[in-house]
Homo-oligomer: A and B are copies of this chain.
């Protein structure tokens, strides 16, 4: 809490010296993400969510967990162009990192969930991801006495092992997967040496060229949708959710935090390097051909968005009672 107060105070000072046009768009990562009133975070709930996140018994095969694609050793993504899932079937889109997803107000590339709680049950049921029914996942968890006891302790009620509580526990854990204290955050907090001169030049360009129009706020995303056609893409994006013609090829703005860890890029993972990704965004989003020096400066700035990775005390999962 003190840390948050200090950060807020530093931010106020920092914003006071910034160009006013962008002042409202720049924000360091708050110490805590927004926490919904009906899913408060407790240590027990976070621990339960962590266990479920790593537990392959949420999948139809008992082999794939959330952590399979949101792999902690690779920035909580899989570094594949498009995700592999059940039986190595390939999904249609690139796995987004879940680092700092708690600061984004809309989930999935096409925004078909608003909250982490709504999001959590999707991949469990997807044919090309974990391929499990919610009933099957509940049944698997109920065979594990330690889980039944934990759900009771955390949620209470007559039948605490249910899909809604599974989602709440996983979402509570995801709210701990945040990466504070990047060079960018330290810079905004007042340490003008935290970004190198080259990165500061990149940050200036990031604002003056207009990247910040969509990549703003604590997660450097507006949680909005934009029409970005990327190489090789045939994906209709948000249209698949809304069936609204005007949503064709619209995708949610991804966070830029830790972007150097989460190649390949875009909804179809068609681009391998940050240099190429910045070049594409210049053309597609800014209608500008960025020069090589501009691209270089923007890329070094983006590398200043890598924060401190969350430490994970790996759980030891309880075994199924037969």
Contact = CB atoms under 8 A, between A and B. Distances in A.
A177 interface: no
Nearest to A73: B54
Nearest to A314: B72
A147 to B, nearest CB: 14
Contacts of A322: 272-273
A319 interface: yes
Nearest to A262: B319
Nearest to A321: B273
A73 B314 contact: yes
26 contacts: A51-B73, A54-B73, A55-B73, A56-B71, A61-B88, A62-B79, A62-B80, A63-B78, A68-B68, A72-B314, A73-B315, A73-B316, A73-B317, A74-B316, A79-B317, A87-B87, A87-B88, A88-B88, A260-B319, A263-B319, A263-B320, A272-B320, A272-B322, A273-B322, A309-B314, A311-B313
B317 A314 contact: no
B84 A63 contact: yes
A143 to B, nearest CB: 11
Interface of A: 51, 54-56, 61-63, 68, 71-75, 78-80, 84, 86-88, 260-261, 263, 272-273, 309, 311-317, 319-320, 322
Nearest to A313: B311
A80 B273 CA distance: 38
A145 to B, nearest CB: 13
Given A61-B84, A63-B80, A74 B261 contact: no
Contacts of A313: 311
A257 to B, nearest CB: 14
A313 B78 CA distance: 19
Given A61-B84, A88-B87, A79 B319 contact: yes
Contacts of A315: 73
A316 B80 contact: no
A56 B73 CA distance: 10
Given A61-B88, A73-B317, A74-B316, 11 more contacts: A51-B73, A56-B79, A63-B80, A63-B88, A72-B314, A75-B316, A87-B88, A88-B88, A263-B320, A272-B322, A312-B314
Contacts of A319: 79, 260-261, 263
A312 B86 CA distance: 27
Nearest to A78: B63
A273 B320 CA distance: 10
A130 B56 CA distance: 18
A98 to B, nearest CB: 15
A272 B72 CA distance: 30
